[in-house]
Chains A and B, each alone.
Chain A
Amino acid sequence: MTIAAQGLTWGIPLLRLLAALLLLLAFAMLAQRRLLTLIHLLAWQGVVLAAGTALVALLTGQAELWFSATLTLALKAILIPMVLHRLLRRLQVRGDVEAVLNIPVTLLAGIALVIFAFSLAAPISALTGTVTRGMVGIALAAVLLAFLMMITRHKAISQVVGFLAIDNGLFFAATSATLGMPMVVELGVALDALIGFVILGIFFFQMRETFDSMDLRHLERIREE
């Protein structure tokens, strides 16, 4: 996959900027207490992702990536956050996200994770060309940060947000680091994400129906004693 020379001069820095934005948003989500803001941040991550995909499409001239970018924008930046938003209102979930750890500690752990991700990706980056250098590391860091967020949150919705954030990180890796996966795979992944989301929706209502609450602690009954 080749990238036009003029693209290299402005395209790659821009892509890097987007990557940094993604990481920043991931951190922001880790630090965020309010559910509503969390969803907004997720939407913004979707926007960044779509922009990144579009940029790669522009740079490499792959038509299907445009399609992918549109899909991302529609799905991740608009549809899913919107649905989540509405869910939040319909289910009348309010209040703060209760974190398991306090935020500063979580952030410190997050920084450690990022360092770890970079050091892990360093040998890989060294092998690749200049184009996608560091992208794997950023994607990995975003994934790990989202993972950490899932671990530190109690509410079902915040876990879903974390889950979707992991997905975003993966997507970024797929588009920016590898400059696009095979179309079949991308379609499959998107389909799965959609179905998964639908199922989640069904799920939330079942949960609501059964527990009158979205707190994960209701889901800690099955245990070994």
Chain B
Amino acid sequence: MATTALPSRGYLEDDTPTVWAWIKSWLFTVDHKRIAILYLLAINFYFLLGGLAASVVRIELITPQGDLLSSDLYNRAFTLHGIIMVFFFLIPGIPAVLGNFLIPLMVGARDMAFPRLNLFSWYLYMIGGLFALSAAVFGGVDTGWTFYTPFSSTYSNSNVILTIAGAFVMGFSSIATGVNFIVTTHTMRAPGLTWFRLPLFVWSSYATSLIIVLATPVVGITLLLVAIERIWGVGIFDPALGGDPLLFQHLFWFYSHPAVYIMILPGFGVISELISTFSRKRIFGYEFIAFSSMAIAIIGFLVWGHHMFVSGQSVYSGLVFSFITMLVAIPSAIKVFNWTATLYKGSISYRTPMLYALGFIGLFVIGGLTGIFLGVVAIDIHVTDTYFVVAHFHYVMVGGTIMAYLGGIHFWWPKMTGRMYNEVWGGISALIIFVGFNMTFFPQFVLGYMGMPRRYHVYPQEFQVLHVLSSAGSTVLAIGFIIPLIYLTLSLWKGKLAGDNPWDATGLEWTVSSPPPAHNFDEIPVVTTEAYAYPPEAAERDAAAWRPGSPL
């Protein structure tokens, strides 16, 4: 048996004598919590970078002429935005930060199954990020994040190889994370913690990992083939060389559609946690939420062709993919209904994380419903590759994943740092983000149905009003993203101590101190209750305890 008598020192504390030793204690750490913090810093850096590129794009689009950027620069800006956001923020975002931090705590383990693999994945992420960054610094890349051949393999005159190398290496970073999650969930659960006692965040992370493990290698080899075609001019996908460009699209979307679920599934998990905690009651329909995550992961593998309805694939494939796409809408709907039902007879408090969760539901509903529009082939023919698609996936990715990411960060911030942040500012920024987001992206639905194609830096005059509205909204959105950065950073010094369980939440992570001790649990806990084990009267007691002046 491993020693259990370990000093319960917070994972952030150190007794390193020198600064250099302190840096080393972070860069060579195998503690999942420290690795999560490393990820948090890196991922937020890339988020800001991607956001900067987005701002440039939005500013350019204020006028119909290409007056701020040349077409070349504009293409590089939106490609940078896409690649950074997709590969370096959305895909690793919630799993690598919240998942790394929480999964061992939630399953009652001292660490991930493979701690060094975990650290290795962070280094892979950083190496991949450096490749992508250097591609941007040395002139950028203009293929769009989808790298469609033969443009990317033959015609583009930009740093495609460097960028592909970045995405390739990043892919192995997420594979490492996925392997770790799967093995940890299977083998490291505390005694008594059965599958149906697991928090829903663990379920959704598990489903995410399944997708990562099965799909990521395929895009890895596909990008490798594109690189080979580009370097040696001997092609697999270029029709001039005997190949078929649609094969690239099949292989690419075989990963990249499930990747959308890699981005949103962990968000679902976070929202389940938040809704339950801030309603002070058990989640409604636990099994249905858990199974719907798995169903999304599995059905998600069968729908990639809905990105290719006008690409020249067969009518038969179009119909099959359209049909399965309709089916994948159902598990997402089940989740939304169950969250809503959880609110019923709860004792709801409007703490910052809950505001994000409620905002998430609203935005995700719009994102999901417009997904059905796009799944219907006849409509997709008109709106694909227009701003309708842009608006749709931003509703899911920004309105979904980023809201969940921010909600999760706010929820577990006291656990991660031991400090509370300013909740007034928290509420204000959540509101600003919600308003700014809708202002930015709702007009784009209209633009898209009007026929405004995506990736245009000059556009006909009649689209200007909506573009200006959208750009104005993006300013609001940007402010909304910057405020949390400020008050969360300030809270590290000024925030009041949070205590072990500031939200009165259930779950093993709230039973340890804040910040958690380096070894998580002095004694491995034995679990005897289900997740979200609020007693039936918890909501009543909470409401009864409310006095004017208590937090809303």
| Pairing of A with B | no
Q: A-side interface residues toward B, CB under 8 Å?
A: none
